[in-house]
Chain A
Amino acid sequence: MKKRVVISGLGVVAPNGVGVPDFSEAIQNGVSGIEFYPELRDLNFSCQLGGKPTISEAKKREYLSELQLRNFNSSGILYGIIAGMDALKDAGIETSKQEDKPLWDLGIIFGSGTSGVEKFREAIYRIDDKNVRRLGSTSVAQTMTSGVSAYLGGLIGAGNMVTANSSACATGTEALLMGYERIANGKAQYMLCGSTSDSGPYIWGGFDAMKVTTYKYNDSPNKVAGPMSADASGFVPGSGAGAYLLESLESAQKRGATIYAEILGGSVNNGGQRNGGSMTAPNSAAVQKCIKDALLDANISGDEIDYINGHLTATIKDPDEIENWSIALNRKGSEFPYINSLKGMVGHCLAASGSIEIVSAILQLYKGFIFPNLNCENLHPKITSLIASEKIPFQLQKKPLQTIAKASFGFGDVNACVIFKKI
């Protein structure tokens, strides 16, 4: 018998809000975290906009010691530490003391796309300068993919599985489902899951070169055509981290913990880069299968979904995503659930997109609201031919929600979909 799994702690570091209270305010008010960065202009980027969380030096010192911050140069690890430690604290779970045993029943699955690109750049310059010996001791820990889970593991004293998954833009959603399985199968009592992504030109450059980012709004960062808009011309790259503490329903009830949501089930699959799928584009049949399999796993029908937190990136693929949801749920027009995309406010936070968006989805479910979609009043005609425009709110809606779906799709043709329910 599988255990029921719930979320009892949240943490978030987003371009429009650091910490759950600020982020919750920001998404309700439609506050954008997208800004112009002169550094990107000076480097000849097509898209000179980005989404970066604001972290003060004092804030860093709430989480890391002076020694840990010495030669520390990995924005993604910093974001992951803040989000992860906040989620643990929110759940009311104490770290193990230095002299104590590790917490054998607490594990971590915290993913990233790549880690510490700034640190890696530093190292490469030194190595090419024939000065490898000058790298010091901090290069490996900050550039290994599992850097973020390793830092969190040490701060917490985690003694169960501590690892970092990596599945491009589906990383955060996949991490949640991996943690869910582990608790459902009784392999851990608590799983701290989430994902993170670095900020800045070295992580965003490749996307700029692929022309998947927008070059049209460098002078007007607050007007970037959002997801689902007919004017959408590419995404704005973002960064940050999202985190969630998972435990069994039984354990949360016993502790008297806040229960934000139950994870009813989910699915992870791959389009195999076949049938229209490729390294960079999704195979629609696989997306539909992923959503349907998630419903099956959650043991619910498509009719029960009240709200969808889309992947919706503000690229030409948005209408296809809506069509895939419509087919998979077998719902269209005014029968379609409410849908929104956080990317209009924070940009595409890449490996962190799934986790930051999951935190936004859970806050909506828990508090009963739907945040506004930004800058998409001119909806794409293919989208309005599939679903009623009132299902894409432009203003904050206060609505009690019961069952919601979140999906993330990523390079490599990876898909992940999860179903949450309010308890």
Chain B
Amino acid sequence: MTSEEIYAKLEPIIKNYLPEDVDAKEINKSSDLTRELNINSAHLVDIVLDMEDVFDIEFKNEDMEQLRSVNDAISLIQLKISN
């Protein structure tokens, strides 16, 4: 799966967790999930669970530590899929 294909599936997941004052247009690959998109850090675990469902993968605790931006998510998903 290319990073574009992953992003196409990832963007709708992230959109669900945006606070009301952040527009979905602000999401791009380099966005920091909590700092720039202002997503409540508690929701990162929900984003991870949704990614697991959509991509049929499983994240480890260590993977979570590397998850900061949309690009981080894409790389993690690519890694998991290729394994």
Say if the beta carbon of A210 comes within 8 Å of chain B. Answer: no
| Interface bin, chain B | 10 to 19
* Bound CA–CA A134/B21 (angstroms): 28
In contact, B43 and A137 (Cβ under 8 angstroms): yes
Minimal beta-carbon separation of A32 from chain B (angstroms): 39
> Do B17 and A67 touch across chains, with their CB atoms under 8 A apart?
yes
Contact assessment for B45 and A136 in the assembled complex, using a CB-CB cutoff below 8 Å: yes
Known: A67-B16, A67-B17, A98-B21. A138 touches B46 (CB 8 A): yes
Closest-by-CB residue of A relative to B43 is: A137
**Contacting residues, chain B, for A137 (C-beta < 8 A):** 42-43, 45-46
In whole angstroms, what is the CA distance A137 to B64 when docked? Answer: 14
> Is the C-beta of B20 less than 8 angstroms from some C-beta in chain A?
yes
Contacts of B20 in A (CB 8 A): 65, 67
A-chain residues with CB within 8 Å of residue B18 when the two chains form the complex: 67
CA distance A70 to B21 in the complex (A): 18
Chain A residues whose C-beta falls within 8 Å of the C-beta of B19 in the assembled complex: 67
Question: Which residues of chain B are near A98, meaning CB under 8 Å?
Answer: 21
Task: Flag if A66 contacts B43 (CB, 8 Å).
Answer: no
A137→B49 CA distance, assembly (Å): 10
The answer, yes or no, to whether A258 is at the interface (CB within 8 Å) is no
For B17, the chain A residues whose CB sits under 8 A away are 67
In the complex, what residues of B have CB within 8 A of residue A70's CB? 16, 46
Which B residues, 1 to 46, have Cβ-Cβ distances below 8 Å to chain A?
A: 16-21, 42-43, 45-46
> How many inter-chain contacts with C-beta < 8 Å in the A-B complex?
20
Q: Is A71 among interface residues, defined by CB-CB distance under 8 A?
A: yes
B15 CB → nearest A CB, Å:
10
Q: Which residue from chain B places its CB closest to the CB of A66 in the assembled complex?
A: B16
Q: Measured between C-beta atoms, what is the minimum distance from A96 to chain B in Å?
A: 15
Kindly report which residue of chain B lies nearest to residue A71, judged by CB atoms: B46
Set of chain B residues within 8 Å of A136, measured between Cβ atoms: 45-46, 49
Which residue in chain A gives the minimum CB-CB distance to B18? A67
Identify the interface centre among A70, A134, A137, A138: most chain B CB within 10 Å of its CB.
A137
Whether B49 lies near A134 (C-beta < 8 A) is yes
Which residues of B sit under 8 angstroms from A134, Cβ to Cβ? 49
By a CB distance below 8 angstroms, the chain A residues around B42 are 137
CB distance from A312 to the nearest CB of B (A): 44
Instruction: Tell me the residues in window 63-91 of chain A with beta carbons closer than 8 Å to chain B beta carbons.
Output: 65-67, 70-71
Chain A residues with CB under 8 Å of B49's CB are: 134, 136
Q: How far in angstroms is the closest Cβ of chain B from A142?
A: 13
Known: A67-B18, A71-B46. 10 other contacts (CB 8 A): A65-B20, A66-B16, A67-B19, A70-B16, A70-B46, A98-B21, A134-B49, A136-B45, A137-B43, A137-B46
Which 5 A-B pairs give the minimum distances between C-beta atoms?
A137-B42, A136-B46, A137-B45, A137-B46, A136-B49
Would you mind naming 7 contact pairs between A and B with Cβ atoms under 8 Å apart?
Answer: A66-B16, A67-B19, A98-B21, A134-B49, A137-B42, A137-B43, A137-B45
